[in-house]
Amino acid sequence: MPTRFVTVAFTVVALALPALADEIVLKPRFEPGDSYQLSLRATTSTETSLTGGAEKAFHENVQLEYETTVEVLEVDAAGQPVRERHHDVELTYMRPQESGSLFRKAIFQVRRANGEIRIFVRGERVEPRIEKLIAGVLSNQFEHTLGPALFAPGRPVEVGESWVLDPSLARRFLRERGLHGVELSEPATATLEQRGDGTASERVVHFSIPIARFELSGLPENARTAGSQARYAGEIRLSRDPGGSPVAFSSNLDMSVQGVVPAPRVASSVPWSFQRLQISEQQTQRVESTFVSGL
């Protein structure tokens, strides 16, 4: 059979085959000496109202951004960093009519153990106020949360395929974000999609967790909740490398709560409402290490 006919036949068969299923690795392994650029941005918009004799309202919009080049110093048995050096750290903030920088070109050593994040400078642990601020930002770093376990399908999947997320794990994941007593309105799901064509194409995992009811921590003791609802949704962009580890993660948690506060010496109660939108964005890019030694 002429070669050209063999080639044509092979092409026709290949086109007729279904897309191959592939593994999705959402928690890549690291080794000491690896380096990556990390950008974390957290935006929180909060609005509350209390209706009484005179309506009282509060609105606040705050953004924190953390950028650094990370040098992995030590990993655990699973290849997850437990000790890193963060070079050229910049932590900036923005709020209405105010913005500034808390750190510029700083160098920290970050140690993770048993869910706790500790920050050191020149071998000395930083003051609690500073550590709490930095740890609060780094605690949302995707690969160090329950996110990889929650959103991974646990099996090879094809582009266009969806899977149901573990509801128990979803509730634990949301509890880390301050939502307790979560009840889902429908199953939480994720879908693998492809964006773009040819060499510019990339795979993206879209996810959605619809929440019918939840309890919000930090409310006043006399506040009574009448209703609540929320949705946590976003996407994970995967690299074009084999295995496709995450290069970007974005999510938004949109929540609303309504309730009443018993008014003293008054038979009726005062209605109140609370709305919050939390947007998280992360970009991670492996880079060739230029550091002499982190050990």
Q: Consecutive 10-residue runs of the chain (295 residues): their mean pLDDT?
A: 50 47 88 97 90 68 95 96 97 91 92 94 94 93 96 94 97 93 96 84 95 83 83 95 84 93 69 91 90 53
Alpha helix segments (H runs only) across 68-114: none
- pLDDT digit string, tens, across residues 7-44: 444 444 444 444 567 888 899 899 999 999 999 999 99
For the chain, give the mean pLDDT.
87
CA distances (Å), origin 155, targets 25, 71, 82, 149: 10, 31, 27, 12
pTM to 2 decimals? 0.84
The predicted pLDDT at position 271 comes to 86
What is the number of structural domains in the chain?
A: 1
The answer as to whether 15 is a domain residue is: no
- Decide if 135 is inside a domain: yes
Does the residue 292 lie in any domain?
A: no
What domain range includes position 183? 21-287
Domain-located, residue 184 = yes
6 lies in a domain?
A: no
Contacts 24+ apart (CB under 8 A), 259-268: 259/223, 259/224, 259/225, 259/226, 259/227, 260/223, 260/224, 260/226, 261/50, 261/220, 261/222, 261/223, 261/224, 262/222, 262/224, 263/52
Residue 77 lies in a domain: yes
4 belongs to a structural domain? no
**12 in a domain, yes or no?**
no
